[in-house]
Amino acid sequence: MLGRFITFEGVEGGGKTTNIKIIAELLQDKGKNIVLTREPGGTEISEAIRDILLSKELPAMHQDTELLLMFAARAEHLQKKILPALAQGKWVLCDRFTDASYAYQGGGRGIDIKRIATLERWVQNDFRPDHTFLFDLDAETGLSRAKSRGETDRFEQEDIEFFNRIRAKYLEMAAQNSDRYHVINAQHNLAQVQQQVTDTLNSILS
Ligand code: Z5A
């Protein structure tokens, strides 16, 4: 039996990392075998690429380099971890995936979407998530939540307009892919967000 591939997206501070753990527990209670992973990252090589991508110590990188490194990390992650786990019937929960490249490098940085689609086809062929949870909230609230945790990374130093464009791109993708997208209103308090997440998961499983 094939597993399922579920991705978690949104601007920073939306609660992906918090809620992915709740979903993992709910699925485990229902007897599913879970793999929790993230992008960029998820394997030793992809995590090393992540360190380069998020570093504030390195000089600013060209936006094409950033996009290509995201897909290099993804190629390794997909071939070495995601596809083998799905083939074993596991449910793979991934904190960000290719939609983040469309939102951040496409919407945020302004790279031509056709170039991102070319890389997506090259690295993934027709492989896409079965379900995507989008934690949607305004960028000001998300950034202030993310910053309240302390240390920021290279992306979190961008201006608010960068994050507004990212949010708009995510909402556009959600409208275009309503069969797999589940939009969670992450503006609410944590208990209310968790309720939406639980209800959505139950509807997926029923
Ligand atoms: N990136 C890219 O550009 N292109 C790509 O293709 C990919 C990624 C794959 C990865 O960083 C960066 O890489 C990311 C995009 C880029 N940009 N940045 N930065 P990351 O993985 O380190 O960071 P992140 O993905 O943005 O996650 P995050 O900042 O950790 O946010 P989150 O996971 O959505 O939120 P959280 O950690 O669950 O919650 C943040 C805080 O808010 C925390 O203290 C919570 O307790 C609190 N919280 C959560 N929900 C609530 C509610 N509902 N109310 C109040 N407080 C809450």
Q: Is the pLDDT of residue 80 over 60?
A: yes
User: Dihedral of CA 43/184/172/12: which sign?
Assistant: negative
The residue to mutate among 17, 22, 158, having the most atoms of ligand 1 within 8 angstroms of its beta carbon, is 17
Q: Is the CB of 35 under 6 A from ligand 1?
A: no
Ligand 1 centroid – CA 15 distance (Å): 6
Distance between CA 125 and CA 155 in Å, rounded?
A: 28
Pinpoint the alpha helices (H) of the chain: 16-29, 44-54, 63-77, 83-87, 98-100, 113-124, 139-148, 160-176, 190-205
Give the span between the Cα atoms of 182 and 65, in whole angstroms: 31
Ligand 1 within 6 A of 156 CB?
A: yes
Q: What is the mean pLDDT of residues 103-114?
A: 98
> Integer distance in angstroms from the first to the last C-alpha of the chain?
18
How many angstroms separate the Cα of 64 from the Cα of each of 38, 78, 89, 112? 21, 21, 35, 10
Q: Whole-angstrom Cα distance, residue 93 to residue 4? A: 8
- CATH number for the region 5-205 comes to 3.40.50.300
Write down the pLDDT at residue 1.
Answer: 53
Residue nearest to atom 44 of ligand 1 (CA): 149
Per-residue pLDDT tens for 144-163? 998 888 777 888 789 999 99
Measure the CA–CA gap between 46 and 129, rounded to whole angstroms. 19
CA distance linking residue 24 with residue 81, whole number of Å: 17
> Which DSSP category does 156 fall into?
G
pLDDT in tens, 44-62: 999 999 999 999 899 999 9
